[in-house]
């Protein structure tokens, strides 16, 4: 079991930036594949970005690609989501998630083992 705690959310104007952090504790974080998801009110949780255990492979949703960057520091047991050029439609609760072992896809929330409590991101006009 791994415990995840997100931080870094807040209120930002459109065009601004935020960096979310997800601190992990518990089992060997360095072997987990990590993902970021978000959920807006009355909407389903959606994939944002994912990074493999060694940081060598990343993938992004179409809306995140080119604006967001996922990274990890295994020595600090932390994964990050740098978000630039934020838009009002990015407003949501953002969650990090961990998965141990191979998954056929990293874009499906149900395939992750552990979740954080979420951090709210609000982008104003």
pLDDT digits (tens, 9 = 90+) for 16-66: 999 999 999 987 777 789 999 999 999 999 999 999 988 789 999 999 999
CA distance 35 to 81: 10
Residue 13 class from Cβ within 10 Å (0-12 exposed, 13-18 middle, 19+ buried)?
exposed
pLDDT tens by residue, 99-115? 988 888 999 999 999 99
Report the pLDDT value the prediction gives residue 103, as an integer from 0 to 100.
Answer: 85
In this prediction, residue 101 carries a pLDDT of: 83
In angstroms, the Cα distances linking 29 to 53, 71, 79 are 8, 14, 10
Expressed in angstroms, the distance from the first to the final Cα of the chain is 40
Produce one character per residue of 67-89: b if its CB has 16 or more CB atoms within 10 Å, e if not: ebbbebebeebbbbbebeebeee
- pLDDT for 85: 98
pLDDT of residue 54: 81
**pLDDT bucket at 1, cuts 50 / 70 / 90:** confident
């Amino acid at each position: 079991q791994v415990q995840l705690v997100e931080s870094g959310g807040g209120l930002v104007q459109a065009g601004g930036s935020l960096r979310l952090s997800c601190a992990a504790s518990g089992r060997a974080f360095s072997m987990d594949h990590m993902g970021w998801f978000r959920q807006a009110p009355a909407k389903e949780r959606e994939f944002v970005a994912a990074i493999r255990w060694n940081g060598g492979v990343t993938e992004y949703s179409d809306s995140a690609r080119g604006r967001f960057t996922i990274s990890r520091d295994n020595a600090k047991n932390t994964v990050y989501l740098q978000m630039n050029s934020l838009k009002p439609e990015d407003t949501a609760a953002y969650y990090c998630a961990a998965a141990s072992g191979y998954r056929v896809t990293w874009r499906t929330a149900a395939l992750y083992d552990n979740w954080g409590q979420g951090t709210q991101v609000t982008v104003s006009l």
